Structure 1
Amino acid sequence: MLEPVKYRSIFISDVHLGTVDSQVNLLLDFLESTECESLYLVGDIIDMWKLKDAVYWPKENSELINLVFRKAKRGTRVVYIPGNHDAALRNYVGNHLNGVELKDEDVHVTARGQRLLVIHGDCLDEVVRNMDWLEHLGDNLYSMIMVMSRYYLYIRRLFGYSYWSFAAFIKYKFKEAVKYIERFESAAARLSLERGFDGIVCGHIHHPNKRDHGEVQYLNTGDWVEHCTALVEDETGQLFLINWLEMKAMLEREKESFPDQRVA
């Protein structure tokens, strides 16, 4: 049994519970394998859009929610910042649910004193902000790509290959998608600068990234549909983007190399 990996803070977003493509089992594995002082759920954890059309709720979804509640009960500060797919929860901002704080946004101060604005990010998206019908059209197109990705993943598994996101590969081949990501990142960095923060943490666009934009740092947590990524802060205040599939493989290799030692 591996010793849990300890972090000061963990940020995750865009899990989309209620959809077939949510990698909930991998996220369960990640959260069971880690401990932290603060856990930020940065929006679109539950996909209420999909749940309106049809209820898809495997037991693992409930297991994940119960795990988060247990972490809150044991002393982890858990902050839930709703996104556009779970926007109904914004009606409960300011309240606590089983120890989980519901907030529109938050300010996280790292161990190094870096002040970070934490938001989901849909407020930065011109499509989301101005054209609801186009937003849903884009969501439907994305759903079609995810169906293709699902079949591709099934074939990979038949031949013994590991998880790989066909949807992410397709998305980054489209110039307009790349331009949109660049505009989103610039808007996020500009908002952070205008409000006097050292950086911004967000999700929303399913594109994990950590980069400097002039005077501020842009940090996107990614997602648990295509990438299985999280933003983490260690005890010294350093911030890292981790891919759980890669990290898990590394930990398992270390366990095999040192079978009588715990990997911390």
Structure 2
Amino acid sequence: MEKRKVEIVVISDVHLGTYGCRAKELLKYLKSIQPQTIILNGDIIDIWQFSKRYWPETHMKVLRKLMKFVVEGVPVYYLTGNHDELLRKFADMQLGSFYLQNKLVLELDGKKAWFFHGDIFDITMQHSKWLAKLGAIGYDSLILLNSMVNWCLELFGKEKMSFSKKIKAKFKDAVKFINSFEQTAADLAINSGYHYVVCGHIHQPEKRMINTDGGEVLYLNSGDWIENLTALEYNDQAWSIFKYDAKQFTKEEDVEYGQLSDGEDLQSKLDVQTLLQKIKLEIA
């Protein structure tokens, strides 16, 4: 299958290391594109819930595929989120074409784009981190239960359902939080003179122009790879939301996951374990 050329791809909220992560689908997507720049906008590895007891091969293959992009010279920006906040102490680190940062500003065809995860707008994160972590465990458990229910529904030819989306739709506070999040991001971006503001965190894919008294900005959110299976793509001066569709990925491809030749330099030989050692990250 011929790979699609993409100028910029933005992915967030993958949550590798959790039961809800859809690593297999993400891997298929990554294998289908030929990106010029990759921006990982937070919560890629879920360090909060990381356990040596659960780290499937598909999760490792996603990281190997991302590192393979680095080996090929594709700039990969890893912007930290709340679930991988331990990496923030190592911000501004660079290894080859891999960049670890807290936020990023790029000029795209004469317009400035501001990328960051977005957890700084979450009051729960700022003042009750233990509650946020408890909520993350509950969310992962809900997704696991939802997966089992959907398996049964498929078995009987019924349509799948999303527990979390139904819960969010019934609680006005959830909708209010999302609207407030988007408006706050837009206000800050407009005040700073940015044309695009690109976030993650709330697992809600979005692309819409937000107007205020101070001006307008295109607000973008890359969604997640738990339920929505979405990414942002930038091509020919325009943004679009990619939505994973299993029908587009019916043919399994032969894959070489990050196998590197002996002739490549040390930075090119980085695998995930080496990267974690370099940033001195110890996970109990």
Give the SS at the match of 2:99.
Answer: strand
- CA–CA separation in structure 2 for the residues paired with 1:70 and 1:21: 24
* Structure 2 counterparts to residues 116-127 of structure 1, below 5 A: 116-127=113-124
Structure 2 contact 48–133 (Cα < 8 Å) conserved: no
Q: Deviations over 1:46-75 (max 9, x none)?
A: 0011115x6310011111111111111112
Give the aligned partner of residue 154 of structure 1: 151
Deviation at 1:202, TM superposition (A): 0.6
* Structure 2 counterparts to residues 4-15 of structure 1, below 5 A: 4-15=3-14
Change (3 A) 1:34 1:169: farther
Are residue 134 (structure 1) and residue 131 (structure 2) matched?
Answer: yes
Give the aligned partner of residue 83 of structure 2: 85
Structure with more helix by fraction: 1
Of residues 75-84 and 149-158 in structure 1, the stretch that sits farther from structure 2 once superposed is 149-158
Deviation at 1:128, TM superposition (A): 1.0
Are residue 145 (structure 1) and residue 142 (structure 2) matched?
Answer: yes
Change (3 A) 1:178 1:9: same
Deviation at 1:127, TM superposition (A): 1.5
Deviation at 1:251, TM superposition (A): 7.3
- CA–CA separation in structure 2 for the residues paired with 1:79 and 1:59: 23
Give the aligned partner of residue 257 of structure 1: none
Give the aligned partner of residue 259 of structure 1: none
Q: Deviations over 1:25-55 (max 9, x none)?
A: 0000000001111000000000011115x63
Give the SS at the match of 1:69.
Answer: helix
TM-score normalised over the length of structure 2: 0.81
Change (3 A) 1:147 1:105: same
- CA–CA separation in structure 2 for the residues paired with 1:34 and 1:56: 28
Which of 204, 210, 213 is the equivalent residue of 1:213?
210
Are residue 176 (structure 1) and residue 173 (structure 2) matched?
Answer: yes
Give the aligned partner of residue 255 of structure 1: none
- CA–CA separation in structure 2 for the residues paired with 1:145 and 1:209: 23
Structure 1 contact 69–99 (Cα < 8 Å) conserved: no
Which of 184, 190, 193 is the equivalent residue of 1:187?
184
AA in 2 matched with 1:153:
N
Structure 1 contact 152–166 (Cα < 8 Å) conserved: no
Q: Deviations over 1:169-195 (max 9, x none)?
A: 332332111111111111111111122
Give the aligned partner of residue 64 of structure 2: 66
Change (3 A) 1:163 1:244: farther
Give the aligned partner of residue 49 of structure 1: 48
Deviation at 1:98, TM superposition (A): 5.7
- CA–CA separation in structure 1 for the residues paired with 2:160 and 2:28: 15
CA RMSD of aligned residues (A): 2.1
Aligned residue pair count: 247
Give the aligned partner of residue 249 of structure 1: 247
- CA–CA separation in structure 2 for the residues paired with 1:86 and 1:200: 21
- CA–CA separation in structure 2 for the residues paired with 1:164 and 1:62: 28
Give the SS at the match of 1:60.
Answer: helix
- CA–CA separation in structure 1 for the residues paired with 2:189 and 2:161: 33
Identical-pair percentage: 35
TM-score normalised over the length of structure 1: 0.87
